[in-house]
Amino acid sequence: MRLSKKGEYAVRALIEFGVSNRMPNPELLQISVIASRTNIPEKFLEQILLALKNGGILKSKRGVDGGYCLNRPVETVTVGEVIRLMDGPLAPIPCVSKSAYEPCNCPDEASCGLRVVMQQVRDSIASILDNYTLKQLVQEVQKRKQKSLASWQFDI
């Protein structure tokens, strides 16, 4: 698994949605606002937000007062789901993928040493990313920002 810019930017954008989340009436964020807060190019962000909308993570409203917002509570969105949506399977090689399995050219797939290791890599990555929610990620970011702000205030 390699995290693409698309995957990285999707997570960064979702953190912004998570920070501004006010369920059951989440705040609508415009693409230009998210782009300026996250330093993501607007045209690329448009594609990413559309993919997140098509994946059921975001919803949108058209018009002058329009924008995007979360479609689900932050505790139901996992980092693994977002990365799969943007970048595809988490498996480092196709023969260990659960969602996009492809046979390899090994003479005996069942006893292939590389496959054994790569299954463990896939399982470890999936275990972490599938159990890390957007809520946890937002809380961690906010905690680190507060800690950074507090240390900056004492340096004066």
Task: Dump pLDDT digits (tens) for 38-85.
Answer: 999 999 999 999 999 999 999 999 988 889 999 999 999 999 999 999
Mean pLDDT for the stretch of residues 25-48: 92
pLDDT at 152 over 70: no
Give residue-wise pLDDT tens across range 127-139: 999 999 999 999 9
Mean pLDDT for the stretch of residues 83-111: 88
Three-class secondary structure of residue 78 per DSSP:
strand
Name the strand (E) or helix (H) holding 69: strand 67-70
| Residue 97 near residue 109 (C-beta atoms within 8 A) | no
CA–CA distance, 68 with 27 (Å, rounded to integer): 8
CA–CA distance, 58 with 74 (Å, rounded to integer): 11
CA–CA distance, 20 with 30 (Å, rounded to integer): 12
Contacts of 24 (CB under 8 A, 6+ apart): none
The pTM of this model reads 0.85
